[in-house]
Chains A and B, each alone.
Chain A
Amino acid sequence: MRDILSVTFAIGLLSATLRMATPLIFATLGELFCERSGVLNLGIEGIMLFCSFTAYMVTYLTNNIWLGILFAIIVGMIFGILMAFLTVTLGISQHVSGLGITIFASGLSLFAYRQIIGSPTIPPTIETFKTLTIPFLSKIPFIGPILFDQYLLTYIALILVPLIAFIIYKTNFGLSIRAVGENPEAADALGINVFRTRYLALIIGGGLMGLAGSFFTTAYFNMFLYGIVGGRGWVSIALIVFANWDPKRVLLGALLFGGVDALQLRLQAIGFRIPYQFFLMMPYVVTIIVLILVARNAIAPSALLKPYKRE
């Protein structure tokens, strides 16, 4: 019990928080693009799973992690196009299209893995990212090991938050996305191409979901497991509500969830006399509670879930 109060424990916990938050930052920012343009993308869970498989497979075959990540992003974008075709071009229910993509992409991940790798007793591993220790800064007491001894992808995630906030709020492209998500008729009247904007938003969103998926197999684990994403795509759907569709608050939400995830892992390791499954439940329980607390004040983009038809 005394372990919990030590500085080492705190450093380990906070450092792990940031690590666990990384895929959630990518995925939730990806979902943010989609939803800000008016499309709920429930394909997120399946896209993340298939992209974590893609990153693993390409790295396994080429021994090049960067190529693995690149392919994961490209595949994520392709799924973004598929989602856009179903919801933007055909105007099908966003709920069902997204679930369809998740079911398809999850099935495809399992199928492809089993077909290519088979079912060996020890799954083949790949070389993964090492943490990137930033000289000098990582020597700062307490903060150093937490902030400056992380995976490259974690740094990228942290940089993406202000960058995407800038894109959404300060650029013309961001303005178009927000406009088609709030009032597509008015945006159309102003000469914004609603269809093209939504396609782009879904493609960028899909790419970010792909990047999120790739983290699991290229940094967090060194192999592909069927339950590797474990509902974190769904957690992102909750985080976006928590964040009230604001990129900066996405970081806060991801850190909160990452913190609970990191904490439950450590509590498991300490070995209380409670079944470890109850610790595994914690992040999901906390997510639901948080969702209950914020639901009343959440203001979704007005055109979310509404297909746009040009008469």
Chain B
Amino acid sequence: MQFPKYKLEKREKVPNWLRLSLPFIAIGISFIFSSIIILIAGKNPITSIYSIFYGALGTRLGIMETLVKATPLFLTGVAVAVAFKAKFWNIGAEGQFFAGALAATWAGINHFNLPSILYIPLLLILGFVAGSLWAIIPGFLKAKLKVDDVVTTLLMNYIMIYFVTALLEGPWRDPVTQWPQSILISTNAEFPKLFARSRVHLGLIIGLLVILAVYIIIKYTKLGFNIRSVGANPTASNFLGINVTKTIIIASLISGGIAGLAGVGEVAGVHYKLTENISSGYGYTGIVVAMFAGLNPIGVIFSSIFFAVIITGANYMSRVTGVTSFIADVIQGITLIVFLAVLIFYEYRLRRIK
């Protein structure tokens, strides 16, 4: 008996069915790998993975919580996507998220005498500006001084988080409970809920609107063209007369601002105060979300929901099966790696050699 032989052959064009099915293939393969890890941990992978999906999608409460978790991911995901499109390696969404949360908290705990219709936009504007300012530093350093953006954005996450901790353990510490968290923000600054008996809030709509706006900017505006062009080839863009420096700085500004909005949403929509662990890694998950969406803003919607399912479901699963909820982080990592690996089939195909 002879094994059939295959070889990799370069593709001319990516068929649509492949473009759509590849993420599902990646999810399937990554669940196989995750199952092996769950098996090694001595648990049943089938009940574990089933309870992830049941916990996230099987009940009304589960679906609502999944939407709550998807909300910040919409924003951090599309923030990372914009930056990566311009090849600005913004790994700093986590820090920019905290910058936004910080600004929103500042405005919220000052209890300005404003109606909701003004208070909420104030939070959003301040959060966007704070995130932008935090991102524009590495953006400027990259564009003007050729300082590596990966390192600066990453290290600035640590600086921002220490700064937030200093505030929460110092001047902003809750005077009543003495916990390292801020006091509650003004009720007029709180995001309204979208559905009764759930935590789903205005942030969901804001997230979707931002995604739509980014989609339009990237696809139909001159700025979007410049961003794509700089990302594809900065040298050629320069010859085309595109101001590469300016484009990178604007991309960093948009990206950081959107990540900041995610922070605003968690403060004003979910917790109504600032805590040290308000993020649970949304900035980093945003990278996975953006990559899995192929940096496509609309794809970010589906990708965010998928990872929100994993995060929400993993919490439920850990209560039921005793597999810790950190499996969600493992699945995120595996899914990203597997997805990257199968992406090669965009470029090549297997052909059987006779």
Contacts and interface: CB of A to CB of B under 8 A. Distances in A.
A42 interface: yes
A111 B325 CA distance: 8
Interface residues of B, number: 45
B345 to A, nearest CB: 11
Nearest to B327: A111
Given A92-B343, A114-B324, A296-B146, A288 B155 contact: yes
A238 B155 contact: yes
Contacts of B89: 95
Interface stretch (A102-110, A121-129, A187-195): A102-110
Contacts of A275: 166, 169-170
A108 to B, nearest CB: 5
Contacts of A231: 154-155, 157-158
Contacts, number: 135
B102 to A, nearest CB: 13
Contact of A281 (B148, B158, B343): B158
Given A100-B333, A106-B333, A234-B154, A285 B344 contact: no
B295 to A, nearest CB: 10
A82 B159 CA distance: 31
B288 interface: yes
A230 interface: yes
B146 A96 contact: no
B291 A108 contact: no
Contacts of A110: 326, 329
B278 to A, nearest CB: 16
A165 interface: no
Contacts of A95: 89, 150
Contact of B152 (A92, A103, A108, A291): A291
A17 B147 CA distance: 26
A292 B323 contact: no
A103 B336 contact: yes
A295 B330 contact: no
Given A92-B343, A96-B291, A103 B333 contact: yes
Contact of A103 (B159, B284, B343): B284
Given A100-B337, A231-B155, A114 B326 contact: yes
A86 B341 contact: yes
A92 B340 contact: yes
Contacts of B41: 111-112, 115
A237 B89 CA distance: 14
Interface size class of A (residues with CB under 8 A): 35 or more
A278 interface: yes
Nearest to B328: A107
B85 to A, nearest CB: 13
Contacts of A91: 344
A306 B157 CA distance: 28
A237 B150 contact: yes
Contact of B145 (A103, A241, A296): A296
Given A275-B169, A280-B162, A107 B326 contact: yes
A97 B340 contact: yes
B163 interface: yes
Give the interface SS of chain B, mostly helix, strand, loop or mixed.
helix
Contacts of B141: 292, 295
B81 to A, nearest CB: 12
B340 A237 contact: no
B287 interface: yes
Contacts of B61: none
A25 B322 CA distance: 39
Interface in B299-354: 323-324, 326-334, 336-337, 340-341, 343-344
A111 B155 contact: no
Contacts of A295: 141, 145-148
A11 interface: no
Contact of A288 (B152, B284, B329, B333): B152
Contacts of A287: 151, 155
Interface string B152-176: 1011111100110110011000000
A32 B67 CA distance: 43
Contacts of B91: 99
A278 B150 contact: no
B159 A284 contact: yes
A6 interface: no
A277 interface: yes
B195 to A, nearest CB: 31
Interface in B40-68: 41
Contacts of B324: 111, 114-115
Contacts of A88: none
B182 to A, nearest CB: 15
Contact of B155 (A107, A112, A284): A284
A25 to B, nearest CB: 18
Contacts of A92: 340-341, 343-344
Contacts of A278: 162, 166
A281 B162 contact: yes
A291 B148 contact: yes
B337 A237 contact: no
Nearest to A105: B333
Instruction: With a 10 A CB-CB cut-off, give which of B151, B166, B326, B344 has the most chain A CB atoms.
Output: B151
Task: Give 6 closest A-B pairs by Cβ, nearest first.
Answer: A104-B333, A107-B329, A277-B166, A111-B326, A275-B166, A114-B324
Given A97-B340, A110-B326, 16 more contacts: A92-B341, A92-B343, A95-B150, A96-B340, A100-B288, A107-B330, A111-B324, A111-B326, A237-B151, A238-B155, A275-B166, A276-B166, A277-B166, A281-B158, A281-B159, A287-B155
9 contacts: A42-B150, A82-B337, A96-B340, A103-B284, A115-B323, A234-B154, A238-B148, A277-B163, A281-B163
Interface of B: 37, 41, 89, 91, 141, 145-148, 150-152, 154-159, 162-163, 165-166, 169-170, 284, 287-288, 291, 323-324, 326-334, 336-337, 340-341, 343-344
